[in-house]
Chains A and B, each alone.
Chain A
Amino acid sequence: MKTLKRGLAAATCAIATGAMPALAEEPQRGGTFVTHVVSDLGVLNPAMRASTAVYQITGKIMEPLIDLTKDGYVGVLATEWSASEDGKQITFKLRENVRWHDGQPFGCDDVAFTAMEFWKPILNYSSTLQANLESVECPDPLTAVFNYSKPMPLNLLVAAMPDLGHPVPKHLYEGTDLLRNPHNQAPIGTGPFKFAEYERGQYIIAVRNDDYWRGPEYPYLDRVIWRFIPDKAAAAAALEAGEVLASGFIGIPMEDMVRLGEDPRFKMGPEGYENNVAHSTIEFNLRNPILADLRVRQAIYHGLDTDFAIQAIMRGHGKAGRGPIPSTSSAFYTDDVPTYPYDKAKAEALLDEAGYPRGPDGVRFKLRHRAASWGEYTGLWGDYFAQAMREIGIQVEIVPSDATSFLTTVYRDHDFDTASGWHQYRSDPAVSTTVWLRSGAPAGTAWSNQFAYLSPEMDKLIDDAATELNPEARVALYHEMQKLEMTDLPVIFAIEHPFLGIHSVKLQNAYNTPRWESSSWYDLWIKE
């Protein structure tokens, strides 16, 4: 007995036959799209490294089974998906007549091989997701059956597929040292563009795939070039001089984003990052007896003027957070949670009540604060935190640390009182969000509960939701989780903000999906 998702299959057909969002103009064929990337990367295999930096490049060359568009989840290499009633068997129908860039046919063998050799053992985040995957069977070359030892919610697997569902060609990987396979740097995929050249520290070039399954009219572009420009100010100059046509993920200074955003030659905004939303956080080390007092954490939340921070730091491109799930994840989000509006008097009263009155120098207590440096937002957010705390009598000493030191000192050595960083939400709370709250993550797991937060109630909610097959019941469990988080406050998910992109107005069909930077760009074209 299987429940089929016919609506999705229909949506897939619409995409495959080339139905486009209403467009006034006929797309032009040809041209080269040069785009800016801040830093070089070593691995170009999305089945080995789950990271937006990898998708940003390989997403054009290798395709996932399912992608996320404005119309929801649509099939790419898969056309239909369904689950058995006990939730332990998930079946994917695969697309016909798809060939790898070397001409070999794509089929279930590739999916089964990748799932068992990459997704389960090697791929970060996926190894937790697929921990209960026992085998993948191929009843025919275009059907893949995933067998799980415990129920796997179909929605969770589908939501994870755009990021964690890229097959690799079995015939090029089987029997090799997977981590050292040369195709990890020279990917062979099924996508609209074929990998051509990778000049370290300079650029990556991909050229048009003339044999693309969506039809001979796709892709519109001849070539895509990713240029590595590590200095953000220089990247802004390159954009202005027309040497690159776009820069994603806030790749240039905010000052220039705002300035060039007002220039008619460019478009700037959060469009295309709906699925790349992150929270600016304040993380507490509950091993510190002062911070273990809930009233102190509440006072700190009341002491933060998030609206001011959104205007000053994110230039208005953000929203006050309501717990660990961002509002863009509308299926799971609820705003029916306790809130802590900006109120200095209340903050001070709570601190007095907790037994920390202002001393003769006006200071109640001191905190050692680690500020992450994931770009302009987090740097300024850390500074703002210190400043806001001074006003309610908490002296915050910022300990400078680079990215790696931050991860090591906060998430392994627990050498901090408070930390400011960010939480990246990935399509479903079970992918990378519940680890922030679930107890038992070994020390050294970056972006996990290293705060000594231990709540049996929270752990149960998280475990139940991970295997709950009924979608409504699952949503209800996550609503409970948000309420509990906003009550216990182990972490303040203070502000939710999308990334921002800037691009030349010549680009058409740009930023038209919720994870555009990671998508395949098959419909992207340049208006000359």
Chain B
Amino acid sequence: MGIHLPPVLAFALRRLLQAVPVILLIMIGSFLLLKLTPGDTVDALVGDMGGADPAFVARLRAEYGLDQPVLVQMWRYLSKLAMFDFGWSYVYEQPVSTVLLDRLGTTLLLMASSLSIAFVCGVSLGAFAARRAYSLTDNVISTLGLVFYAMPSFFLALLMILLFSVKLGWLPVGGVATIGAFYTGWDKVADTAMHMVMPTMALSLIYLAFYMRLMRTSVLEVSDLDFVRTARAKGASPSRVMFHHIMRNALLPVVTLLGLQFSTVLGGSVVIETIFSLPGLGQLAYTSVVKRDLNTLLGIIFLCSIIVVIVNFLTDLVYAWLDRRIDLK
């Protein structure tokens, strides 16, 4: 007897089942890869402490279970993970889940604001440039895009700090909030927004350039297609042709890129979070590698694989919504 689920739910369920082996493979691969790097958490901790005697080191290693064979350690880790127990971070001396949840908000805020700005501005500038292809406006927009694209984000970030914080004193150098000010309500929101301006700009400009170039090409390509000519012949107004017929179809490749890039933004945020001392996942991932904080690092990898799987799923849904010919199978 077959149970008939609505197509979206059936699609979601199948995706979920497919995700399990993918994530399992990622976790096993990452675990083994990380074990190949020279040194473990204890070595890194002792390094930070400025040294320790052998008895202390041996005691710590036994305490953390690092004296066990690698496969035993992996089995222990995975069986805990299966119950969503991320283990303990020996660097932060807190459960990994606490460490991750503390940092997730900042990173999601940074990613969401950067990607929305990049997407909205990139798409509109790209479409605008395409409508006036090869004019002065188009050239200015395209050149700017190239500059943004070529500029490394850390360099842009430091330039912005120099200009807006050191010289002009308009924006704070880093952090997510004014420490010791203890703002509440709207003051707090405004304070956070002030702190996010530079990181968001630094992270979004490069992606903005991506979307702009892609949207411009895509709009130019779609404009020549038969259905656009048909729409014009029917007497649709230029704005209706642009928004309803051209842009909607031209958006497809941009949405693909958006979905794909969601994971690379996380990579880019490592640099931005470090420079602006934002306590996010990117910075955490970097410190975890340096300090060989295996549990935290694996927790981040796990969380990120889940985020990427979810975003891919959402991208597929958006596809289907943008282009009704695409079936959710």
Contact = CB atoms under 8 A, between A and B. Distances in A.
A515 to B, nearest CB: 14
B99 interface: yes
A441 B43 contact: no
Interface in A110-137: 122-125, 127-128
A448 B56 CA distance: 14
Contact of B43 (A229, A408, A442): A408
Contact of B53 (A40, A127, A227): A127
26 contacts: A40-B92, A41-B48, A42-B89, A52-B50, A124-B56, A125-B52, A127-B53, A179-B63, A185-B93, A185-B94, A201-B279, A201-B283, A203-B179, A223-B180, A225-B180, A230-B277, A231-B274, A231-B275, A234-B161, A402-B290, A404-B37, A404-B43, A405-B37, A408-B38, A413-B38, A444-B57
Contacts of B131: none
Given A124-B51, A234-B277, A241-B166, 13 more contacts: A42-B93, A201-B103, A201-B277, A202-B279, A229-B174, A231-B276, A404-B38, A404-B290, A407-B43, A408-B39, A409-B38, A424-B51, A446-B47
Contacts of A127: 53, 55-56
Interface in A272-299: none
B152 interface: no
B7 interface: no
Contacts of B279: 199-202
A32 B180 contact: yes
A412 B90 CA distance: 21
B180 A442 contact: no
A4 interface: no
B83 to A, nearest CB: 21
Interface in B138-195: 158, 161-162, 165-166, 169, 172-177, 179-180
B287 interface: yes
Given A200-B99, A202-B179, A403-B290, A227 B55 contact: no
B317 interface: no
Interface string A168-199: 00000000000110001100000000000001
B21 interface: no
A387 interface: no
A148 interface: no
Interface in B282-329: 283-284, 287, 290-292
A127 B55 CA distance: 8
Contact of A237 (B63, B162, B179): B162
A173 B207 CA distance: 52
B22 interface: no
A185 B158 CA distance: 33
Given A205-B179, A227-B179, A234-B158, A243 B172 contact: yes
The 7 A-B pairs with the shortest beta carbon distances in the complex, nearest first, are: A201-B279, A124-B52, A404-B39, A408-B39, A238-B173, A51-B49, A447-B51
Contacts of A446: 43, 46-47, 51-52
A392 B88 CA distance: 51
A53 B91 CA distance: 14
Nearest to B279: A201
A130 to B, nearest CB: 11
Contacts of A442: 54
A40 B287 CA distance: 9
A50 interface: yes
B168 to A, nearest CB: 10
Contacts of B173: 229, 234, 237-238, 241, 243
Contact of A50 (B50, B93, B277): B50
A452 interface: no
A125 B283 contact: no
B44 to A, nearest CB: 4
B221 interface: no
A180 B88 CA distance: 11
Nearest to A405: B38
Interface string A211-226: 0000000000001010
A396 interface: no
Interface in B179-221: 179-180
Interface string B79-109: 0000000000111111000010011000000
B180 A205 contact: yes
Contacts of B165: 237-238, 241
Given A205-B180, A408-B39, A403 B166 contact: no
A27 B101 CA distance: 43
Given A243-B172, A403-B44, A403-B47, A227 B277 contact: yes
A468 interface: no
A227 to B, nearest CB: 6
A180 B54 CA distance: 22
A156 interface: no
Contacts of A229: 173-174, 277
Contacts of B158: 233-234, 237
A185 B92 CA distance: 9
A445 interface: yes
B74 to A, nearest CB: 20
Contacts of B89: 42
User: B50, B161, B291: which has the most chain A beta carbons within 10 Å?
Assistant: B50
B287 A39 contact: yes
B51 A42 contact: no
Nearest to A182: B93
A184 B274 CA distance: 26
A202 B162 contact: no
A467 interface: no
A424 B50 contact: yes
A499 B259 CA distance: 48
A121 to B, nearest CB: 8
Nearest to B177: A202
Interface string B239-266: 0000000000000000000000000000
A186 B291 CA distance: 22
Contacts of B166: 237, 240-241
A489 interface: no
Nearest to A129: B53
A432 interface: yes
Contacts of A49: 49
Contacts of B93: 42-43, 180, 184-185
A149 interface: no
Contacts of A525: none
B51 to A, nearest CB: 4
**Best-surrounded residue of B47, B103, B275, B279 (most CB of chain A within 10 A):** B47
B175 A42 contact: no
A39 to B, nearest CB: 7
A403 B49 CA distance: 12
A42 B102 CA distance: 14
Nearest to B161: A237
Interface in A9-44: 32, 34, 39-43
Contacts of A185: 93-94
Interface in A425-480: 432, 441-442, 444-448
B103 A407 contact: no
A50 B51 CA distance: 9
A441 B54 CA distance: 8
Given A202-B279, A442-B54, A124 B49 contact: yes
B172 to A, nearest CB: 7
A202 to B, nearest CB: 5
Contact of A445 (B49, B53, B99, B175): B53
A444 B49 CA distance: 15
